Amino acid sequence: MPILRKREVENLAQLSGEELEAFLKRLPAGQYDIEDLFDFLEEKLEKEACNHSLRFSMQFIMENRLDFPKVSSWLQQNGGFCDCKVLKEITPEWRKAFDREDTEEISEN
């Protein structure tokens, strides 16, 4: 039976200052790039249904010249296997940790 690795973002809100700083240094892109990705996905998925791929994430990553393999791998390791899962599995935990009040529940399409 495979060992399941705990997702990094699951305990994000509980990290102390030093732990949070270390987490941010390990990210595959800058904190604000990740937040901009979430905002981009919210806008896109308001207009179009998720096709259960990372197509909008890929678009954002490429347009912003981020490291595609690293960012997409990080998203998937944290439950973001498609754009709507990024918003459902990662974004709420991220926003809890960084005191974002505009957290919206995105339903799977």
Q: Is residue 73 part of a domain?
A: yes
At 108 the pLDDT is 47
> Is 5 among the domain residues?
no
Range of the domain at 52: 29-97
The span from the CA of 9 to the CA of 15, in Å, is: 10
21 in a domain, yes or no?
Answer: no
Please give the model's pTM, rounded to 2 decimal places: 0.81
Residue 47 belongs to some domain of the structure: yes
Q: Around 68, how many Cα atoms within 13 Å sit in the side-chain half-sphere? A: 11
Q: From CA 64, how far away is CA 85, in angstroms rounded?
A: 21
12 vs 80: which has the higher pLDDT: 80
User: Closest Cα to residue 39, out of 15, 27, 56?
Assistant: 56
Kindly state whether residue 13 falls inside one of the protein's structural domains: no
In this predicted model, what pLDDT tens digit does every residue of 18-39 receive, in sequence order? 888 888 999 999 999 999 999 9
Q: What pLDDT is attached to residue 12? A: 81
Is position 17 within any domain?
Answer: no
**R_g of the chain, CA atoms, integer Å:** 14
Residue 36 inside a domain? The answer is yes
In this structure, are residues 90 and 100 in contact, taking their beta carbons and an 8 Å threshold? no
Count of Cβ atoms closer than 10 Å to residue 28 Cβ:
18
The pLDDT tens digits for 63-107 are: 999 999 999 999 999 999 999 999 999 999 899 888 644 434 444
* Amino acid identity, position 51: N
Q: What is the mean pLDDT of residues 46-50?
A: 97
Tokens 């339903």: give the residue. 107
pLDDT above 60 (res 3): no
Overall number of domains in the chain? 1
